[in-house]
Amino acid sequence: MGKKLTSRAEDYSKWYNELVVKADLAENSGVRGCMVIKPYGFAIWEKMQAGLDKMFKDTGHQNAYFPLFIPKSYLSKEASHVEGFAKECAVVTHYRLKNAEDGSGIVVDEDAKLEEELIVRPTSETIIWDTYRKWIQSYRDLPLLINQWANVVRWEMRTRLFLRTAEFLWQEGHTAHATEKEAIEEADMIMHLYADFAENHMAVPVIKGTKTESERFAGAVETYCIEALMQDGKALQAGTSHFLGQNFAKAFDVKFANKEGKQDHVWATSWGVSTRLMGALIMTHSDDNGLVLPPKLAPIQVVIVPIYKGEEQLDAITEKVNPLVKELRSKGISVKYDNRDTHKPGFKFNEYELKGVPVRLAVGQRDLENDTFEIARRDTLEKETITSGDAVEKITTLLEDIQTNIYSKAKTYQESHITNVDSYDEFKQVLEEKGGFIAAHWDGTTETEDRIKTETKATTRCIPIDVIEEEGRCMVTGKPSSFRVLFAKAY
Amino acid sequence: MGKKLTSRAEDYSKWYNELVVKADLAENSGVRGCMVIKPYGFAIWEKMQAGLDKMFKDTGHQNAYFPLFIPKSYLSKEASHVEGFAKECAVVTHYRLKNAEDGSGIVVDEDAKLEEELIVRPTSETIIWDTYRKWIQSYRDLPLLINQWANVVRWEMRTRLFLRTAEFLWQEGHTAHATEKEAIEEADMIMHLYADFAENHMAVPVIKGTKTESERFAGAVETYCIEALMQDGKALQAGTSHFLGQNFAKAFDVKFANKEGKQDHVWATSWGVSTRLMGALIMTHSDDNGLVLPPKLAPIQVVIVPIYKGEEQLDAITEKVNPLVKELRSKGISVKYDNRDTHKPGFKFNEYELKGVPVRLAVGQRDLENDTFEIARRDTLEKETITSGDAVEKITTLLEDIQTNIYSKAKTYQESHITNVDSYDEFKQVLEEKGGFIAAHWDGTTETEDRIKTETKATTRCIPIDVIEEEGRCMVTGKPSSFRVLFAKAY
């Protein structure tokens, strides 16, 4: 395991980077900005995928798959979209390598230059709307509710595991509707679906809202979002859902015949969450001992560690443990019985603490004699001794309790880190000393947003959906404002 | 639906291309050689993924994710590997676009040229073995059993939906072992796993075997494969599993300390199946009316079509159908009740026939009066009238029966299309007139294989694992041979 983690208080950023690697979640690869998601980290992501995928299907969406590559010309068709993505995209220019004539290795074969360069998708609106043109003729073809699980590439200059990587995994929903109202309802529904997933699966409380104009997706009319708060007081955008108006339908000429037989452009949404959620999950719950996972997403929910001397004792423990393992599995609980003889119990305890396994059982000689288990919960690190007969019920209850407890803890933290401020000085002070979300009046201009960002590094996170109308004055310019916007430093 | 499918007899290739598009499985995209997998096609692929993924996990494998990009220099490290893939790879050379100075649109920004070109992965051995070097130190780290679901790109010049596309989806397993024996056992086990999946999920009979040297994977010591036979007498390689020896461990310097503390290079396997399996599935079972799907992979296993005049009759039918739908779903059977009022029953019958839904129920006024359903099976197109009370049992039995029946039919076809020949003339004649697998003696040289390929377009498909030792002479050169090899024209 190596030496202990850097503590959060000492260096939050270093703590995160170390934790991701030490807990076997991910690591940097030999390719700049691209990560390797290790089996343990990927198992968590798979559970996220399964949870989300079911929610998408339950709300009528189907999965499909569109090409990795986007012809350069497609990107240009929607003006603000190309502006947003052209500056950070991987460009394929050739389709073959050859042996260098001087024998120095393999080089790009200049005879195999593409007529039109291809962009590795940074997001798929353009290629998908080029396809939808063929799929949509009539109102009968609508709504079209499609999702794709895919990898995308944005050439970020400063990358961090899960939070910002050149390649990342995500899902992107792309829907087409007959009316503006329906499309807005879809975008809004997905924001609520994302919030539901974040809160009830990830145990991550979020604030639902809409983005200000300058923070909107490139090509969107409105961007709905969920914003989470990390333990260092920085916000993290955890998911976005965009109402695209008719922008892409017009750019790609996607029209349909309505019930009256008249041609109209289609209304659109797109929405996505990515492996960035892994970063949110890690930073919301984990502590100085390592990862803390919500039971619903933990690849191993219960680990059982035998404490023994010699094979005979191990056999007795195994005999005691086997029926419990069987019963837990029959209840759909994932259990690992770690009887490896290559590592000592203390090493195993540290390992599972680091990896955030919610419940740990230990069984030693005394437990054999007394028919007990020692049970420990990862979130509070509390331990107790229970009788074997109570184990299944105790474990079941504990898993539910941990799920609830870590959510409550994060929710309490979030609620105590939303501060109303009424002056720019107070804003700067709270930002510096406390962090978190700051609710302030703002004049609604991008100019003021830019100034605040430059001077404080804080950005508008969202206008909460439950925002209260309240007359006030912009903390910077003094111009009138009718509601508070949430600001924060963000990942 | 448009006009009828071209028949198989008329033009098999055209029949396939039309079927893939008309059954809503996939279509060509605006990007050369890249396909769009449509929701219905993707739903079948998802079922394949789920089945395979479970089999991989049940045999101890874990999923992970490795970068899309491979630095050019990595590819060169294994000599035969680069030889195999350099000629058909997409090359990323730049990471930014910019507005053209003449205002003509966006162009590649030459200031954003990569120091080292990146290849879009055609397969991931190189990037994965570069990573394994960091993961493997001791025999305790072995075996390392990892799988990845991913997209890969091979710049094929002639593409066909599912069968050969520039981008395709696949899984690639990459395992590391302490001994040669273990690695060979793994590669062999996976071949059997693939055969099990093909036969028991896809209902596609396959022949298991090993490839001749010239047909081996670039970098493999031995390639195990499963070969299926399509209805036009052409073979289709449905999955491969490679024993890689220590080739990649040596190229990427991956060593481990064995139990005796001595350093040794690791032994490796890699194995994969792809969306090509969709092609095999479609071509094995389908007929001139459209797709025929094995119930285990059918997104919709049962469709119920009401035949009615007016809303009142529809309501009565719906009332009759609802409890059946509920009961079937509770048994895990996927049912669609198609009560759309935008299409006539005849249209729906054609649509579900085209889409290969295994079981179709129709309910009309007479069925209401007699408490019956009309039930039709897609594979044989047989229909009968059953009483409502028998419906669940009948459907359950029928789904099993269809799964078995289409396998048997394909197996009978395959068995009747393996022909022993003893002369090159006979070989050419059988190839021309009958097709299928031809078992013939061959002198074991690549030279002779090349000659046969050039003259007849047939290639060696495999040396079957149950091949019988038999003295003979090569049908082309007359040189001695001790077993027969299977030849065929292949996709």
Q: Which residues in chain A touch residue B98, judged by CB atoms under 8 angstroms apart?
A: 86-87
Question: Looking at the domain that runs over A418-488, which CATH code has it been given?
Answer: 3.30.110.30
E strand residue ranges, A130-281 = 144-153, 167-177, 207-210, 222-229, 235-245, 255-257, 263-265, 267-274
Q: Is the dihedral of CA A338, A342, A347, A353 positive or negative?
A: negative
The arrangement of strands across the sheet holding A302-306 comes to A335-337, A302-306, A359-363, A372-377, A383-387
Locate the chain B residue with the closest alpha carbon to A105: B76
Position B342 scores a pLDDT of 87
Smallest CA–CA separation between A440 and chain B, in Å? 37
Could you tell me if B65 lies within 8 Å of chain A, comparing CB atoms? yes
Could you tell me if B36 lies within 8 Å of chain A, comparing CB atoms? yes
Q: How far apart are CA B241 and CA A479, in angstroms?
A: 69
Q: What is the pLDDT of residues B242-279, one digit of tens each?
A: 999 999 999 999 999 999 999 999 999 999 999 999 99
Could you tell me if A100 lies within 8 Å of chain B, comparing CB atoms? no
Q: Which residues in chain B touch residue A169, judged by CB atoms under 8 angstroms apart?
A: 65
Integer angstrom CA distances of residue B44 from A88, A345, A435, B285, B291: 35, 45, 49, 14, 12
Q: How far apart are CA B454 and CA B446, in angstroms?
A: 12
Residue B30: half-sphere exposure toward Cβ, Cα within 13 Å: 21
Q: Is the dihedral of CA A349, A351, A354, A356 positive or negative?
A: negative
Q: How far apart are CA A29 and CA B129, in angstroms?
A: 11
Smallest CA–CA separation between B303 and chain A, in Å? 18
Virtual CA dihedral for A458, A460, A464, A467, nearest 10 degrees?
A: 90
Q: What is the pLDDT along chain A (491 residues), one digit of tens a residue?
A: 456 899 999 999 999 999 999 999 999 999 999 999 999 999 999 999 999 999 999 999 999 999 999 999 999 898 888 888 999 999 999 999 999 988 888 999 999 999 999 999 999 999 999 999 999 999 999 999 999 999 999 998 899 999 999 999 999 999 999 999 999 999 999 999 999 999 999 999 999 999 999 999 988 999 999 999 999 999 999 999 999 999 999 999 999 999 999 999 999 999 999 999 999 999 999 999 999 999 999 999 999 999 999 999 999 999 999 999 999 999 999 999 999 998 999 999 999 999 999 999 999 999 999 999 999 999 999 999 999 999 999 999 999 999 999 999 999 999 999 999 999 999 999 999 999 999 999 999 999 999 999 999 999 999 999 999 999 999 999 999 999 999 999 99
- Give strand pairing partners of A460: A487
In this prediction, residue B81 has a pLDDT band, given cuts at 50, 70 and 90, of confident
Asked if B62 and A46 come within 8 Å (Cβ–Cβ), the reply is no
Contacts of B171 (CB under 8 A, 6+ apart): B49, B52, B53, B56, B147, B148, B149, B150, B272, B273, B274
* A413 three-class SS: helix
Contacts of A192 (CB under 8 A, 6+ apart): A208
**Residues recorded for chain B:** 491
Position B2 scores a pLDDT of 55
Could you tell me if B1 lies within 8 Å of chain A, comparing CB atoms? no
Cβ atoms within 10 A of the Cβ of B134, count? 12
Chain centre to alpha carbon of residue A324: 34
Closest by CA position to B360, among listed B345, B342, B343, B340: B345
E strand residue ranges, A396-474 = 418-420, 437-441, 459-464, 472-473
Beta carbons of B5 and B22 less than 8 angstroms apart: yes
Flag whether the ipTM exceeds 0.95.
yes
Q: Which residues in chain A touch residue B46, judged by CB atoms under 8 angstroms apart?
A: 63
Q: What is the pLDDT of residues B464-481, one digit of tens each?
A: 999 999 999 999 999 999
Could you tell me if B75 lies within 8 Å of chain A, comparing CB atoms? yes
Beta carbons of A256 and A150 less than 8 angstroms apart: no
Cβ atoms within 10 A of the Cβ of A16, count? 25
Amino acid residing at A322 = N
Amino acid residing at B331 = K
Smallest CA–CA separation between B296 and chain A, in Å? 19
- Give strand pairing partners of B210: B224, B463
Inform me whether the pLDDT recorded for B490 exceeds 90.
yes
List the single residue in B75, B118, B153 with the smallest CB-CB distance to A106: B75
Asked if B34 and A67 come within 8 Å (Cβ–Cβ), the reply is yes
List the single residue in B30, B91, B134 with the smallest CB-CB distance to A92: B91
Could you tell me if B333 lies within 8 Å of chain A, comparing CB atoms? no
Beta carbons of A417 and A233 less than 8 angstroms apart: yes
Q: Which residues in chain A touch residue B119, judged by CB atoms under 8 angstroms apart?
A: 97
Could you tell me if B354 lies within 8 Å of chain A, comparing CB atoms? no
> Can you spell out the DSSP letters for A301-350?
SEEEEE--SHHHHHHHHHHHHHHHHHHHHHTT--EEE---SSS-HHHHHH
- Label residue A478 exposed, middle or buried (CB < 10 Å: 0-12, 13-18, 19+): exposed
Integer angstrom CA distances of residue B118 from A151, A398, B68, B109, B144: 16, 48, 9, 17, 27
The size of the A-B interface in CB pairs under 8 A is 187
Beta carbons of A126 and A74 less than 8 angstroms apart: yes
Position A393 scores a pLDDT of 97
Smallest CA–CA separation between A87 and chain B, in Å? 5
Would you kindly state where each structural domain of chain A is located, as residue ranges?
A: 12-66+132-285, 300-398, 418-488
Locate the chain A residue with the closest alpha carbon to B24: A135
Chain centre to alpha carbon of residue A415: 21
Locate the chain B residue with the closest alpha carbon to A147: B39
Q: Say which CATH superfamily domain B300-398 falls into.
A: Anticodon-binding domain (3.40.50.800)
Asked if B86 and A95 come within 8 Å (Cβ–Cβ), the reply is no
Position B65 scores a pLDDT of 98
Buried b (16+ CB within 10 A) or exposed e, A100-138: eeeeeebebbeebebeebbbbbbbbbbbbbbbbeebbee
Locate the chain A residue with the closest alpha carbon to B67: A34
Between the two ends of chain B, the Cα-to-Cα distance in Å is: 28
Could you tell me if A259 lies within 8 Å of chain B, comparing CB atoms? no
Question: Looking at the domain that runs over A12-66+132-285, which CATH code has it been given?
Answer: 3.30.930.10
Locate the chain A residue with the closest alpha carbon to B118: A31
Closest by CA position to B274, among listed B478, B145, B122, B69: B122
Smallest CA–CA separation between B87 and chain A, in Å? 5
Position B84 scores a pLDDT of 85
Position A2 scores a pLDDT of 55
List the single residue in A130, A150, A153 with the smallest CB-CB distance to B30: A130
Q: Which residues in chain A touch residue B126, judged by CB atoms under 8 angstroms apart?
A: none
Asked if B91 and A108 come within 8 Å (Cβ–Cβ), the reply is yes
Inform me whether the pLDDT recorded for B157 exceeds 90.
no
Contacts of A179 (CB under 8 A, 6+ apart): A267
Q: What is the pLDDT of residues B381-422, one digit of tens each?
A: 999 999 999 999 999 999 999 999 999 999 999 999 999 999
Q: Say which CATH superfamily domain B12-71+124-285 falls into.
A: Bira Bifunctional Protein; Domain 2 (3.30.930.10)
The two beta strands, B335-337 and B302-306, are parallel
Q: What is the pLDDT of residues B98-126, one digit of tens each?
A: 999 888 889 999 999 999 999 999 999 99
- Rounded mean pLDDT of B305-313? 95
